Structure 1
C-alpha cells in the first residue's frame, strides 16, 4: 500500500496517486475533486495557522481553484501534490502578508493571538503554560523576512521536508537549508535569553 502523503490514511490497492488523478482530471475534470478531498484539510490548517481561519477559507478555495486551472502544467513525475499545493497556497498568502505580520506583532505586544484557530479551552491552557514564550516567538516570526517565515512555517506547520519546501517555493535545497537555519537561530536566540 502507498500512503497519501500529508495524511495518515494509506491508499488502498488500486487507488491512483496524486499525479495519476491530476492527469486523469485533464479528460475528466471531476476527478480533481479527489485532490481536494485528500489535501484540503491540511492546506486549510496550514493557512489558518498563518493568516486566520476566515481568510484561510478563502485562500484554500483559491489554492484549489488555481491548482485546477493550471493542472495541465503539473509535473506528473511527482506522485505527491502537497508541495505543489503548498507552493500555490504560499504564493496566495503573500498577498495577505501585511495581515499576517500585523497578527504576529499584535501577539508579540499583547499576548492575544488574533489568528487563533483552536478550541478556547486549549488556547487558555496553552497560554497559561507558554504565554511569555509565545509572545517572544511571535515577535521573532514578525521580524523574520517573508522568505524565512515561509520556509520555517512550511517545515514546522505543514511538515514538509527540505526537498518538498524547495519544490513548493521553487528554490534550491541549499536555500531552504540556509533560510531555515537563519530562522531557527533567531528563534533559539530569543528563547535562550533569560527572562526578567
Structure 2
C-alpha cells in the first residue's frame, strides 16, 4: 500500500477521516514535540503544547489548505504561535499573582530531578541563552532549520519569506552562534 502524502491525508481529514489525521499525528508529533521542548526547555510543557497544536490542527483541518505536500511547516508555525500564546498567558498570570502579593516560589516536579532530564534541561537552557542573543529573525531560522530539521524551502514556507532570505539568515545565525558559544552547545541539540 502506497504511503499517502500529507496533503492527501489532510484532505481526507478535512472530510472527517480521523484515521488520516492520526497518520498525520504519527508522522509529525515527534518533530513538533522536539520543537516545543527546545522552545520551552520543559518536557511537560512541550507535551501539553504538542497536544494543543494538534487539537488546533484538528479544529482547523477543513479551513487550512496546505501549499506543499508536507504539513510540517504549517504545524511548526502553529506550534510557534501556540508557545508564544502560552508565554503571554503565563506572563499575565505571574503579573496578576505578583499584584495580589501571592507570588510563591516554584517547586520543580520530582520527575524533573531525574538525572538525564536535568542534564537535557541544562543543555537546552544554555542553547536557549545563546539563541536569545541572536536577532529574532535569526532565532526563527535556527529553530526551524537546525532544531526542527526543516529544509530551507520548508522554512521559507513556514515563515512566508523568499528562499534567499532563509539562506542568508541561516548563514548569519550560524556565524553569530559560533561567535557566541562553543559549537557543541547548539549543534548537539539538532
TM-score surpassing 0.5?
yes
Whose relative contact order is higher, 1 or 2, with alpha carbons under 8 Å and at least 6 apart? 2
Whether the aligned pair in 1 keeps the contact of 2:39 and 2:128 (CA below 8 Å) is no
Partner of 1:142: 132
**For this pair of structures, how many residues does the alignment match?**
158
Cα deviation, residue 139, structure 1: 3.4
1:49 to 38, 53, 57: 38
Which residue number in structure 1 is paired with residue 53 of structure 2? 63
Q: For residues 121 and 35 of structure 1, what CA distance do their matches in structure 2 show?
A: 30
Report the counterpart of residue 26 of structure 2 in structure 1: 37
Q: Which of 156, 159, 166 does residue 149 from structure 2 map onto?
A: 159
Structure 2 unpaired stretches of 5+: 91-107, 183-190
Structure 1: 5+ residue runs without aligned partners? 1-12, 100-113
The root-mean-square deviation of aligned C-alpha atoms, in Å, is 3.1
After TM superposition, the runs of 4+ consecutive aligned structure 1 residues lying more than 3 A away are 73-77, 96-99, 121-125
Q: Cα 1:191–1:53, aligned 2, differ >3 Å: closer, same or farther?
A: closer
The structural deviation recorded for 1:22 is 0.9
Provide the residue aligned with 2:7 in structure 1. 19
* TM-score, length-scaled by structure 2: 0.68
Indicate conservation of the 8 Å contact 1:47/1:60, yes or no. Answer: yes
The structural deviation recorded for 1:33 is: 1.8
SS at match of 1:19: helix
Aligned to 1:186: 176
